[in-house]
Amino acid sequence: MAVVQYLGFVFLLGFVQGNPLSEGSPAFIEDLRNARIVAGWEAQDGQIPHQVNVRMVNAAGGVNSCGGSVIHHEWVITAAHCVANRFTFVVRIGLTNLTRPEYVVETSKKFIHPRYIEIIAGVQTDDIALLGLDRYIPYGPFVQPCRLQNSETRNVDYTGVRFTVSGYGLTDDLVNGGASSEILRWVHLRGISNAECLRWYPNSGIVQEQTICAEYYNNTAQSSCQGDSGGPLTIVDVDGKPTMVGVVSFGSSAGCNSPFPSAYVRPGHYHDWFAEITGLNFDWKSEDLEASQSSEEKTSEEDSEEEQRDKPIVVDFFLR
């Protein structure tokens, strides 16, 4: 078993939670993948206004970084493995550049899902957590909450659906001299079924109904990676706005440039727990969204007709 020093941590390359590591085995993204959104693009200001950056401090004073999303003025959603066995968190909000956030909030209020075993940490099925913020964060052009997948669509098969995943990290592998990116990056991925995902991870007991898996969209290098954990996987919903259908959790020990899919936790499975922790209801009905979209389209059509009525009649005198 080899011991590797990587990004300030020592890892045993050979076993994760007692299971042999192979190219087809799930691996803790923060330990075993290169740190970046791979083969993606830099985000523009306000493009992904729910994205946050979370810096975590452990008992020994070590610091590492994850992603997360604003879901309310005082709440952020992230991955459980990002906050497990860590005690202080610095959340940067309203940013595409890490050096210029609109808000910086320090908090120690973490809530890990009860089925996730914190002392073990690492790759687990219910890899989801909430951070309570110590101040009220107002919304604006660069800060907006992300709508969570609702409970009625929690088990939808997203095979072939185009996703967007975003986060921060290295611009290239460490061995190639890559440096940490200050700019938020994003990339498209394509959904695959859990049955297909299990063909890539045949010995995994982690891929369950709470899991979404996604592969590259049109370039096998496209993926989420270390530093992206806890960040949002979104779709464009019927109203043209993003809905978070996954929280970045794990990928393959083969590396993020490999064609192996990455895995995400479906927030639609956890609405009862969200309500218990926050006192807020993040669930919603798909029919309400469709009705709202229909109403907006009708209003737009009426506005368009009114604009046409108000326009002066233009006559082409050459056609008499």
Task: Determine whether 81 is an active site residue.
Answer: yes
Name the token pair of 253. Answer: 């020990």
Q: Which of 252, 243, 247 is nearest to 153 (CA)?
A: 243
Task: Determine whether 300 is an active site residue.
Answer: no
Spot the catalytic one: 229, 249, 253, 258: 229
The residues with which 235 forms a beta bridge, in sequence order, are 243
Spot the catalytic one: 81, 113, 269, 271: 81
Residues whose CB is less than 8 angstroms from the CB of residue 91 and which lie 6 or more positions away in sequence, other chains included = 52, 53, 54, 55, 68, 76, 104, 105, 106, 107, 131, 133
Neighbouring C-alpha atoms within 13 Å toward the C-beta of 59: 2
Name the maximum alpha-carbon separation found in the chain.
90
Distance CA 293, CA 302 (A): 14
Q: Are 71 and 145 in contact (CB under 8 A)?
A: yes
Q: Tell me the pairing of strands 242-252 and 162-167.
A: unpaired
Q: Which of 251, 248, 277, 253 is nearest to 265 (CA)?
A: 248
Catalogue the active-site residues: 81, 127, 229
